[in-house]
Structure 1
Amino acid sequence: MIPTLRTARLLLEPYVPEDEEGFVALFQDTRVSQWMGDGPASEADDRALFGRIFTKVYARELFDVWAVRRDGVLIGHAEIKPTDVVGGHEIVYALIPTAWGNGLGTELAEKLVAYGFDTLGLPEVHATVAARNHASLALLGRIGFEHVRDIEEDDGTVTQVLTCCRAATQGRAKAVA
């Protein structure tokens, strides 16, 4: 069962069928989808992806996926999942563009990392980010992720693999205290 998580301003909870339109709108916005997976997809593909959250991910308890809400409104998507690309668990997050620039992405990413460490007991958490996604790279760098390696994609673009180690974040917390 997917737990509900809270931050100071966000609520992460399992999707419900009524979230489909908000989910599709998020993934159809090319300002968001250009950074997700293989990039923009058709509306039909995004609707199918939303359906698979229920029929595959939730039904088989494969990994944790959340609707991200602020003041009761769906504003984003979050997940933490095992992936062979990094040989561990990867965080994935997206927010609607009107939610950008006020620290919500940082709040969301920090919550996903803390969940990975504290609830899942992971020694490290990874992220894969397009090398051109400077905002996400900067955000992850601020919260303790370090560049590990590059992956050259079939289309010639570069994806950076970033890792945040539990031991490193604990050391930073002690240094700040």
Structure 2
Amino acid sequence: MPPTLRTERLLLEPYLAEDEEGFVALFQDTRVSQWMGDGTASEAADRALFGRIFTKVYAQDLFDVWAVRRDGLLVGHAEIKPNDVLGGHEIIYALAPTAWGAGLGTELAEAIVAHGFDTLGLTKVYATVDPANKASLTLLDKIGFEHVRDMKEDDGSTTHVLARRLTASDKSPLAP
């Protein structure tokens, strides 16, 4: 199970079974899912994905996956996991549109990166971003990610690969 992380305004904690409806709603929202993986999946596929968080990811301690809460409400999703194609760990994050525009994405991404550096002992973390996702590219640039290469996808599209290296000035944004 992943550890619980706290930032100034967010709580990242393991999912609970009762989070399924909120998880599915987040992943079914095309404003969110258009930027994740292969885009919007069927509701049944998202429910199956939620189930695998418990039966596979948590059960086998594969990587860290969190429900992201603000004021007790599920407002997002976060992960840090090994990615063999990238040769390191990738951060993944998503926030519900109701949480956009308040700096929570930056807070969330910084928390995941800090966990990678402080807890997992990583010296570099990656993010993959659709070139059209300007908000995510701006956010990642702001917190020190740099473009390292592009990947061609099976469908012919391009994905930007960005990386952030651990520096001497890195301080954990996680609250004590």
Category of TM-score, reference length = shorter chain: over 0.9
1:117 aligned onto 2:111: no
**1:172 to 1:2, Cα distance in 2 relative to 1, 3 A:** closer
**1:70 to 1:149, Cα distance in 2 relative to 1, 3 A:** same
1:70 aligned onto 2:60: no
Alignment of 1:53-132 (within 5 A): 53-132=53-132
Q: Give the AA of the match of 2:162.
A: L
- Structure 2: stretches of 5+ with no match in the other structure: 172-176
SS state at 2:161 partner: strand
Displacement, 1:122? 0.2
Higher relative contact order (CA 8 A, sep 6+): 2
Counterparts of 2:170 and 2:24 in 1: how far apart (Å)?
Answer: 38
Q: Percent identity?
A: 75
C-alpha RMSD over aligned residues: 1.0
Runs of 4+ with deviation above 2 angstroms: 170-173
TM-score between the two structures when normalised by the length of structure 2 = 0.95
1:18 aligned onto 2:21: no
Displacement, 1:153? 1.2
Displacement, 1:97? 0.5
Counterparts of 1:157 and 1:99 in 2: how far apart (Å)?
Answer: 28
**1:51 to 1:172, Cα distance in 2 relative to 1, 3 A:** closer
Displacement, 1:61? 0.1
Displacement, 1:156? 2.1
Counterparts of 1:47 and 1:104 in 2: how far apart (Å)?
Answer: 26
Q: Give the AA of the match of 1:98.
A: T
- Total equivalences in the alignment: 171
2:161 corresponding residue in structure 1:
161
Offset from partner CA, 1:141-171 (integer Å, 9 cap, x none): 000000000011122221000000002xx35
Offset from partner CA, 1:80-135 (integer Å, 9 cap, x none): 00011210000000000111111000000000000000110001010001111010
Counterparts of 2:10 and 2:115 in 1: how far apart (Å)?
Answer: 14
1:134 corresponding residue in structure 2:
134
Displacement, 1:172? 7.3
- Structure 1: stretches of 5+ with no match in the other structure: none
Higher helix share: 1
